């Protein structure tokens, strides 16, 4: 039973990271119907920036939780900046182009960013400093759930609540929802659609960066290639939950994380990626709209 709980919690942790990244995919897809393939790379850049900032801070004598906060803020700022620039360079000129064009542009951007980090930094795995301290109150349950897991879960939940509030309660959120429903109509009622799209990219990237920092300090290493697999997994999560739907992305992330965790625990850890994609294919065949997605009728 304890093994089961352990797997469940590790699946939940993993799933909440997927959910954080998947939100970026879902939001972007909801607005401009584009799979932002470079989103995983934004996550990787977030983790890398956090590593660099944390490294510099520790070397110059800072310590403890303050380093984590500084690193996380830097990662969020930089990832947002990269997301914004990415949209402006690679996607905005392609607005209105055939569907395949922005998709290929996105893949190109993903390859470009990966190799940019590879050349600017290194191809090795870099050790990520342990920034999350061990909390004392966690000691009684430490054999089941560690402090990093708790931090990840709490951060994810808080972020989700904030995001939901932003989208449901604020004026900007209203504009985002309007743009998602009908872009040209939104433009007619005076919403600056370009700015909303940029904002979507910025928010998605910031969430990915939070995910990046959490994962990096949880796993303890960073590499230029981590974004690729994480991106694909997160996209899988977004599709699972129903792409375009925000609660769907969260649910999809959790389902995917749990599936992987149990598959790795009870079957074989070598094949956990196979299970993830098998799940994706299954969902696409049985319920292409995803768990929470609504099947959209294609109209001419």
Partner 1 sequence: MLKEFRQSLLVSIWFVFLTFPLMVVRVNTTESIVEWRWMSLVWVAVASFFLSYLWRYMLARQQAKKKVEEEGVQQLSKAQLLLEDMTFRYKAMGVLLAFSLVFPWIFDTYQSTIMISALIYVVLGLGLNISVGLAGLLDLGYVAFFAVGAYSYALINHHFDFGFWACLPVGGVLGCLFGVILGFPILRLRGDYLAIVTLGFGMIIKVVLENWNEFSFGPSGIANIDRPGLFGIDMNIDGSTTYIYYIMVAMVVFTILITMRLRNSRIGRAWIALREDEIACVAMGIDMARTKLSAYALGAFWAGMVGVLFAAKTTFINPASFTFMESAIILSIVVLGGMGSILGVILGAFILILLPEYLRAFSEYRMLAFGAAMVLMMIFRPQGIISNIRQKYEYKGLKEEADNG
> Given 3-state DSSP classes, what are the helix, strand and coil percentages for the chain, each rounded to the nearest 5?
75, 0, 20
Which residues in this chain contact partner 1 in the complex, by CB under 8 A? 33-35, 45, 48-49, 51-53, 55-56, 58-59, 74, 78, 81-82, 85, 89-90, 93-94, 97-105, 107-117, 119-122, 126-127, 129, 228, 232, 235-236, 239, 268, 270-271, 273-274, 276-278, 280-281, 284-285, 288, 298, 300
Name which of 5 and 274 has its Cβ closer to partner 1: 274
Name which of 160 and 237 has its Cβ closer to partner 1: 237
- For tokens 């055939």, the residue is 98
- Shortest spacing between CB 170 and partner 1, in angstroms: 27
Name which of 71 and 175 has its Cβ closer to partner 1: 71
Residue pair 40/228 in contact (Cβ under 8 Å)? The answer is yes
Name which of 9 and 237 has its Cβ closer to partner 1: 237
- Shortest spacing between CB 239 and partner 1, in angstroms: 7
- Shortest spacing between CB 157 and partner 1, in angstroms: 27
Helices 39-59 and 226-241 cross at an angle (nearest 10°) of: 130
Instruction: Please tell me the distance from the alpha carbon of residue 212 to that of residue 216, in angstroms, as a whole number.
Output: 6
Residue pair 201/86 in contact (Cβ under 8 Å)? The answer is yes
Name which of 1 and 59 has its Cβ closer to partner 1: 59
- Shortest spacing between CB 257 and partner 1, in angstroms: 17
Instruction: Please tell me the distance from the alpha carbon of residue 230 to that of residue 246, in angstroms, as a whole number.
Output: 18
Give the CA angle between residues 47, 231, 13 to the nearest 5°: 70
How far lies 148's CA from each of 135, 155, 215, 284, in Å?
9, 10, 9, 33
Name which of 115 and 192 has its Cβ closer to partner 1: 115
Instruction: Please tell me the distance from the alpha carbon of residue 30 to that of residue 242, in angstroms, as a whole number.
Output: 10
- Shortest spacing between CB 32 and partner 1, in angstroms: 12
- Shortest spacing between CB 242 and partner 1, in angstroms: 12
């Amino acid at each position: 039973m304890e093994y089961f709980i352990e797997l469940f919690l590790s699946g939940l942790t993993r799933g909440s990271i997927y959910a954080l990244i998947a939100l970026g995919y879902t939001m972007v897809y909801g607005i401009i119907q584009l799979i932002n393939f470079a989103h995983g790379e934004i996550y990787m850049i977030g983790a890398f920036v956090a590593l660099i900032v944390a490294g510099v801070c520790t070397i110059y004598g800072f310590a403890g939780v303050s380093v984590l906060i500084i690193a996380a803020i830097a990662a969020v700022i930089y990832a947002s900046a990269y997301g914004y620039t990415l949209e402006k360079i690679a996607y905005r000129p392609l607005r209105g182009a055939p569907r395949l064009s922005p998709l290929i542009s996105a893949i190109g951007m993903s390859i470009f960013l990966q190799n940019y980090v590879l050349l600017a930094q290194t191809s090795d795995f870099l050790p990520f400093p342990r920034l999350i301290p061990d909390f004392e109150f966690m000691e009684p349950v430490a054999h089941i759930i560690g402090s990093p897991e708790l931090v990840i879960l709490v951060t994810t939940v808080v972020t989700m609540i904030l995001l939901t509030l932003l989208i449901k309660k604020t004026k900007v959120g209203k504009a985002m929802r309007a743009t998602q429903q009908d872009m040209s109509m939104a433009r007619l009622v005076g919403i600056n659609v370009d700015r909303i799209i940029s904002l979507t990219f910025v928010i998605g990237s910031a969430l990915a960066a939070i995910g990046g920092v959490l994962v990096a300090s949880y796993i303890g290493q960073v590499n230029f290639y981590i974004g690729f697999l994480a991106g694909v997994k997160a996209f899988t999560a977004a599709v699972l939950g129903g792409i375009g739907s925000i609660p769907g992305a969260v649910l999809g992330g959790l389902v995917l994380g749990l599936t992987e965790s149990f598959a790795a625990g009870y079957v074989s850890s070598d094949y956990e990626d196979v299970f993830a994609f098998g799940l994706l294919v299954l969902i696409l065949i049985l319920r292409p709209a995803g768990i929470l997605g609504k099947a959209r009728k294609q109209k001419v």
